[in-house]
Each structure stands twice: as C-alpha cells, then as structure tokens.
Structure 1
Amino acid sequence: LIQRCRPPSGWPTRIGVANSGGSDSTCLLFLLNRYLNDVRGASTSRPKGLESRRISPEDAHSRLVSLTIDHDLQPSSAAMAAHCASVAKTLGVKHASAVIPWGAAPHPDKPQPGTPFETAARTSRYHTMFEMMLREGVDVLALGHHADDQVETSLMRLGKGSTEMGAGGMKRVRRWGMCAVDTRGELGFAGLPGMSRWMIRPLLDVSKDRILATCAEENLEYVTDSTNFQPELTIRNSIRKLLSLNTLDSTALGTDIPEHIQEHIDQIQEGLSDLELVNIDPADGPESVRMSVLSLTDQVEDIESEVDSCLNRCRLPSPEGTMLLSYRGLKTIHDMNVRRALILRITRYLSLNPWGSLRADGNRRRQSLVRIMKALWTPDPIGAGLAPFAAGGGVLWQPVTVGSTRIRFSATKYTPQPGDIDGWLVSRQPPIQMRTVIEEELENAVRVDITEQFRAKLEARDHDKGTKMQIMWDNRFLVTFDMHSVPDDVAAGILSGSDRLLIHPVTRWYWPKVLWQTAEPKEWIVLHSTVVSDRNINPFRLDRDTMFDWQYVRTEKKTADWIRSEWIRPLTAL
C-alpha cells in the first residue's frame, strides 16, 4: 500500500500526515510511523494492516510530521487539536498545528452557525495546510482517505455530471499543483511551490471497518466528529447514510433533507446508469460497491498509461507551449475513454488556468469533450472546413497541414503535396483584448508590471549572495532573474524610480518577453524574449533539431544571460 503511493520524485526527508484526530488519520499516523521505524531497524514486527512490505532503503531517511488544522468552527475544535498533539507525542512523532485565521486575507469571514460551511472550510483548510507544509519543510502530505471515502467521492462526482475518468475518484498519489482546490484569487493558490509537493493516500484500498479494527487492536485513541453522521448537513453525509442502508433512494433520508441534496442524489442515480466500465449498485452491499469503485480507479490508471503511449505516437515537434498532433496517430485510438483522457491531459498541459484546478481541465464538461473529440477525429480537418475553436480551459484547437517546410493553417491557394500530414495544433487561447480588460477592469494575466518586486530584490541583493527573483507568468512559464548579474544601467533606472520592468507576450504562442521602459530617453527596450526548457518535466521530448521555425516573431529574438524563461507545466498524468 505504501509503495503504490510513492511520488515520482521519490520519498522526501519529511512526510506530513494530515491529522484530524479521527480514526482514519490516527490509524494512518500509527501505521506510517511503525513502517518507518521498522525500516530504520527500530522494530522487527510487521505493521498490521499492511500486507505488502516492499521496504526500500530510500524510505529509511524519511521522518514524519503530524499536521493538524483547527477549523475553529465548533466549541470542541481546540480540544480536538490538543488531542492530535497528544497522540503524536505518544507515538514519538513531531507535531505542528495551526488555526484557520478566519477574516484575515485571503480567508473569508468565519461561517456563521446554520450557514453552509463545507466549501469554505475545505478551501481554507487546504490553504492553511499548505502554508504549514512550507514552514515544516514537508514535501509529501499523507491523507487518511479510505475505500469508503473513495466510494462517496465517486458518487458525488457522478452527481455533478463527471465522466468515468472523474468517477474513478481520488488518486493514490497526485501532485499538489498550483491550486489543490478550484478557487479564484489567492485563497487555495499554491503557485510554483505546489508543483513540487505531493499528496498520497495509502489507505485508499482499505475499508473503514478495517481501520476501526486496527485502532481497536492497537488501542489507538481517536475522536469522533458527530457532524459526520448528520445527513442534512452535507451531500457526503447523505451518501454515507444511504449507503449504510444499501440504497440511493433519497426518500430514505426522511423529510428534513435540503432540496439541493435530494436533487444531487437523484443526479447520482442518473450518472450510475451511464457507466460503461463498471456496474455500481448499492443494493449489492458495501463490499461490492467498494470493489466496483476500486476497479474503476484501477481502470483509470490503466487509461492514463495508455494516454502516455498515445502521446508518443501522435505528437510531432512543435514550439514550446504548444502541441502538434497528427491525425495519422489519432486515428489509431479507438477507445472513447482514452480519447477523453487524452484531451483532458492536453488541455491541462496547455491551459492558462492553474495546473491542477478543474478549470485547467475545462471543467471536464461532457459537451466540450464531445465537441473536441468530434473535431480531432475528423479526417482532413481543413478540407472538411473545420475552423479553430476553443472549448474550455483557455486552450485553442487549430486544424493544420504540416508540409516539408512549413505548417499551414488554411488550405487557401495550397495544393496538398505527398507527405503532408493532417493534424491539430493546440495552444493557449488568445488573451482578452486590451479594450475589454480596461473597460471591465479585469486583471491582465499577460501584461504584468514587476517593477516593485524587482526593485525590492535589487535592494536586498547586497545582503543575499544568492538572490534570484522568480515570476510565474500566465501560469505557464517561469521567468528567473539573477539579481547579481543585472546590468548597472537597468539597476540604476529601476532603483531611481524612473524606469519600469514589465513582462508582455511575444509570438503567436504567447511566450514571455521582458521589457525595460526607460524614462530618459522614453523608450521600450526588449531585454529577453527566448524560451528554454531543460527541467525534464516532459517525458515526451522530441528531437528539437527537426522542429520548424514556427514562432512567427516579427522582431529579432533577444537573450539576456541574467534572465531565463522556461515552460513549467508537466504533461504527465500526475
């Protein structure tokens, strides 16, 4: 169970455990602690609850940190946090806790009694947890979600219209991402640091009953949150109650259930009837339902592996921040689930939205996926009259013909030649026009003034020999400045307050261009407009020597040795 959750980057020196004090997180903390102690030779006994014991020497250097969030929404919340600290101390595990600072930006005001709180509490919890991870040096966070949680999550997603890929539920291991919860603004936003942090769920194949049995056998003390058993409070609670009755008939919950929960339950039943890969019937009992959802989870992992193979077959060389797909490769993909997963992977890779957010997947809208699939699997898309289109996620899909010397976006005045390749070029959707940005007072994601940040770093560089400034631009590129190599004239102009430093888009692919606006004489000077990529985050890299010059740059490219621009979005499933 542990090794199935191993992050691609390997086990770090410090693993955090999200400790709520309940049976799930208490059991997880105990098992992980015993496992690591066993690896280090502190114990020769086998951890109960773990059948597969493939111990890696790499595990021996890892240490646990218990992390607790006090939501401050119940009178007992402080006592529950204290209990978590006590359990961690008993196990000899370092502990840290934090209280959600309701009302302090970017957190919303504290939810009032009787008002919906689930979404607000979840978003603020993730935000506060990530801040704790950074403070404690935690790169991997272990969560206590189990097989019954997975069933509830799968059903909840079906009720929201999710595809079978979404109904596969939570992943055993996933990247934290630029935002772990789908929000706009600062709350929940993790940015670049989130791309190198991970969540793991070692107990995802373990039932709740088995967790409770382990707690009883090991005399583990835990707290029980009574609100988890009140079906009128949340959709998850309602699903949990119905599954205990072996049904999804919302009338079994009585008359006190809010209308929106009843409607969601009804939508779940509709979603279940659309499933093709598995059959999930609550009447068959909890074990059957768990096994069906587990099978769906495993099939989703298999589909993602198939997508990796498809990308190797379909992808042609193209400029950074784009993807060129050949129809010849696409037409070999017949499985509709693989097609959908391929589209979602590409959308997330190229989206202007934070990596890991639902918006980066185009909100997984069925209608959008159907539209994209219909277009991509149309032979000779240009000849068929298909036009460029966007269908969510901030991604543009363009039919193209790839010739021996150039790429063509239109068949006008062009006679197809032997060897031409039909396909699709996928890239960032064009930004909102400046007039609209100004009129509607919108945030301009691609025209960014970094003067104040740059000035502050310049002022601090004498005290920090390794000073670098990093800007994540448009959620797609990382622009890094070596502050000790900034030219004297640039530094003088910025420090004096007369000059400005900005990042604007360049090329039709919207790469970052660093501009220096001088006061005397008043002019714009391009400092840097090239992009490199050697972070090895893309396992599908192709021979760049064969790439055509498709940048369509109207001005000469500039490269400054103290500035570096690189693509940061991974194409991997995780």
Structure 2
Amino acid sequence: MAASPNPCGPALAGWCGRHLQNPQQVAVAYSAGADSTALLLAAHERWPGRVMAIHIHHGLHAAADAFENLALDLCARLGVPIRVCRVDARHAPGQSPEDAARRARYHALAATAREQGADAVLLGQHADDQAETVLLALSRGAGLPGLAGMAERFERDGVLFGRPLREMASQTLRDWLLHDGHPFVDDPTNADARYTRNRIRAVLTPAWQACFPGYREALARSARHAAQAQSLLDELAESDLALTGNPPVIAAVQALSRARQANVLRLWLRRCAGTAPSEVQLDELLDQIDACRTRGHGLRIRVAAGLVVRDADRLRYDRPI
C-alpha cells in the first residue's frame, strides 16, 4: 500500500509560519499515542536532523513501560534523539490527579527543552481536545480565560510551546496512522470514568456530535472569540494598573467602575501571587475596597494561599511563610 501524505504537514507549516520561522532544534512531546506520533513524523519530515522527542514516563499505570519501549523503538528507526523523563505525578491532598500530572509533565518538558537547547516544544493536542477543554470550562462556570480553551502558542518556564494540530480532528490522525501502518498506543486511563474529561469524551461529545455535527468547529470559533475578548481585557487591565500603581493605590482603584476594578485586580493578583481569585473572593475584596473610606479602616481577605491586606493607602499581597 502506497504511503499517503501526513495530514499534519499543512497544519505544522501554517503554525510555523506564524510562530517559528527557522528553528535550529525542535522538541516534540511524544507520548507514543496517535496524536503525538503523527506530529513527530510530520516534524521529522519537515526538519530532518533538527527534531528530538521528549517522552514523559508518569509511572501511573502498568502500561507506561510499554509506552516507553514503543517510543524508543520508533525514534531509533527514525534516527530521532529521544529523552525519557520519569516524573512524580502523584497529587497532593486537594489537588486533582489530572492537574498534578499536567504540572509535572510541563515542568519536565520545559526543563528538558532548555537543557537540550530546543527552540520550542510541540504538543499533539487536537480539535477534540480543544472541544473537551471548552466543555469542561463551561461545566465549571469558567470566565473568558477558561472559555478561550487551549492557546495556539504559550510560554512556560521560559520555553515556547505550540499546538499546531489544535484545529485537526483526532480521527483524521488515527485514520492516517492506521492506513500507513504506523504503530501507536491508546492510554488505558482515557477510559477511566473517574476523570471529568473522560466522562465528557464518553458521554457529552457523542451527544453533541449527534445533535450538532459541526460542534468542534463551533466550539473552536467560540474559543477564539473568548480569547480575543480576553486579550482586550488584558490590555485595559495593563492600562488601569499603570494608573492605579503596582501595588494598587486604594483610592485609584475606587475611582474605576466595579467591572474595571475586578479586571485590574485579577491582573495584579496574577502578577504578584501567580493565582486567580474565586468569584466569591473577588466580590468580597471589591466590597472591602469600597468600604475603605477612612484612614483607620482595615482590609484583610484570603486569596489562594495568601492574604490581601491594606498597607497605608495601598493594597498588599502577603504570601504564607
């Protein structure tokens, strides 16, 4: 059977034209699953001799060693260098297993990319992942940052990450791999109904597909609109933070509308605390700021692990000791 063109090729070319013109070395986050396998093959075809693979071994299930062996075998056949990173993905009390695994994975990818001098790390997340992300955000009552879904590019720990397959359907990748005989694995944890994303994949998305066959494209369009709106809010917050000062002067914050107060305080807390307040915390903070009309009026509210307090005429974020 004649080999067919890798469907990832045009998507990868388009992403690179926007974000990565002439890299010296590119890393691919290669799990040995279908999406990352198709992406690794496309990257190797586009940049022969300038691609490396990073395989994250989470150690969360018995099949992890088999995934590593398949990854090592394909990279050996392609002549692609590979680094295997074993991470501790156990979750802390109160932390979701998915979040713990994701944080450990990105930390290892960024550290390895910096060590190897890679210009970027490419991720195999696709249109189905984007749709699930938006549905998950909707189920949690998320604001614009959540509804914007997965960004096409982002930076973490000083490393550029990219999602060139963000608008490609998963089935397109799998059909091509099966047609051309490229081996890949299916992660058994994807069928574990304890994880919210897996329940969305198993129950909600088939219903959306049955009722709205173009739901992936529609959700992706909504995510783009949300991302654009959030970008405008970020620009306004930057302008308002320059006016209120950093840390913000309470009287200057009070001079803004309540919506702009919320917007600028989200930016300030993201900068100084690396966190976002809950809706309840932010409403309470705004109420307390509004009440600060006399010199002796105090202010103290917990946000994430720290406290927002009044410091003379300004706000201050106190981190836990």
Q: TM class, shorter-chain normalised? A: 0.7 to 0.9
Instruction: Name whichever structure is richer in helix by fraction.
Output: 2
Match of 1:295 in 2: 221
Q: Who wins on radius of gyration, i.e. which is larger? A: 1
Alpha-carbon separation, structure 2, partners of 1:237 and 1:108: 19
Match of 2:272 in 1: 350
User: Shift in Å at residue 233 of structure 1?
Assistant: 4.2
Structure 1 95/342 Cα, relative in aligned 2: closer, same or farther at 3 Å? same
Match of 2:130 in 1: 150
User: Shift in Å at residue 82 of structure 1?
Assistant: 2.1
Is residue 322 from structure 1 mapped to residue 247 from structure 2 by the alignment? yes
Indicate conservation of the 8 Å contact 2:33/2:184, yes or no: yes
Structure 1 13/25 Cα, relative in aligned 2: closer, same or farther at 3 Å? same
User: Shift in Å at residue 70 of structure 1?
Assistant: 2.5
Indicate conservation of the 8 Å contact 1:16/1:140, yes or no: yes
Is residue 168 from structure 1 mapped to residue 148 from structure 2 by the alignment? yes
Indicate conservation of the 8 Å contact 1:7/1:198, yes or no: no
Alpha-carbon separation, structure 1, partners of 2:233 and 2:123: 27
Query: Of 199, 210, 215, which aligns to 2:177?
Result: 215
Q: Which amino acid aligns with 2:151?
A: K
Could you tell me which runs of 5 or more consecutive residues in structure 1 were left unpaired when the two chains were aligned: 38-61, 110-115, 177-193, 247-280, 400-407, 410-424, 433-443, 445-574
- Offset from partner CA, 1:352-410 (integer Å, 9 cap, x none): xxx4xxxx223xx121233455677x6x9738x985444514463769xxxxxxxx83x
Indicate conservation of the 8 Å contact 1:388/1:396, yes or no: yes
User: Shift in Å at residue 88 of structure 1?
Assistant: 2.7
Percent same amino acid at aligned positions? 22
Indicate conservation of the 8 Å contact 1:375/1:381, yes or no: yes
Matches within 5 A, 1:84-95: 84-95=71-82
Is residue 429 from structure 1 mapped to residue 310 from structure 2 by the alignment? no
Could you tell me which runs of 5 or more consecutive residues in structure 2 were left unpaired when the two chains were aligned: 1-10
User: Shift in Å at residue 133 of structure 1?
Assistant: 2.9
Normalised to the residue count of structure 1, the TM-score between the two structures is: 0.45
Indicate conservation of the 8 Å contact 1:163/1:366, yes or no: no
Aligned to 1:245, what secondary structure does the other structure show? helix
Higher relative contact order (CA 8 A, sep 6+): 2
Structure 1 315/78 Cα, relative in aligned 2: closer, same or farther at 3 Å? closer
Normalised to the residue count of structure 2, the TM-score between the two structures is: 0.74
Per mean C-alpha deviation after superposition, the further-off stretch among 88-97 and 203-212 is: 88-97
Alpha-carbon separation, structure 1, partners of 2:270 and 2:262: 12
- Offset from partner CA, 1:249-276 (integer Å, 9 cap, x none): xxxxxxxxxxxxxxxxxxxxxxxxxxxx
What do you get for the CA RMSD once the two structures are aligned? 4.0
Query: Of 199, 204, 216, which aligns to 1:243?
Result: 204
Aligned to 2:59, what secondary structure does the other structure show? coil
Q: Which amino acid aligns with 2:276?
A: D
Matches within 5 A, 1:66-77: 66-77=53-64
Aligned residues: 304
Alpha-carbon separation, structure 1, partners of 2:16 and 2:300: 38
Structure 1 119/347 Cα, relative in aligned 2: closer, same or farther at 3 Å? closer
Alpha-carbon separation, structure 1, partners of 2:107 and 2:265: 29
Query: Of 27, 33, 46, which aligns to 1:22?
Result: 33
Match of 1:392 in 2: 303
User: Shift in Å at residue 97 of structure 1?
Assistant: 1.4
Alpha-carbon separation, structure 2, partners of 1:85 and 1:68: 9
Alpha-carbon separation, structure 2, partners of 1:327 and 1:342: 8
Query: Of 260, 276, 281, which aligns to 1:361?
Result: 276
Indicate conservation of the 8 Å contact 2:57/2:86, yes or no: yes
